[in-house]
Amino acid sequence: EYEQIDIWNVNNGERFTTYSLRAERGSGVISVNGSAARRAAPGDILIIASFAVYNEVELAKYAPKLIYVDTQNRIVRTAGMIPTQAAA
């Protein structure tokens, strides 16, 4: 909770930094509040990114975690990397 996050709005191109607040587990609630609320509307597709700083020892054990959700914000799959696109 209160972790700094970046939000990238796929629908309108907005990108902004804000912080997370805890919602009820399993509720599927993604709420953008305050002045940031002007940058997202209900139904927009959002990419929510968090970042961390690791030392070399911690980094050796690190693996990214991607979480994909459906239209109700229920987890449908997880991944450890973003698939790359082949050059045309």
pTM over 0.75: yes
CATH code of 31's domain: 2.40.40.20
87 located within any domain: no
88 located within any domain: no
Average pLDDT over residues 32-47: 93
pLDDT digits over 16-25, tens only?
999 999 999 9
Tokens of 48: 């929510």
38 located within any domain: yes
Residue 10: CB partners within 8 Å, gap ≥ 6?
A: 44, 45, 46, 47
Average pLDDT over residues 60-86: 90
Find the domain containing 57 and state its range. 4-79
Residue 69: CB partners within 8 Å, gap ≥ 6?
A: 28, 75, 76
- Distance from C-alpha of 72 to C-alpha of 29, rounded to nearest angstrom: 9
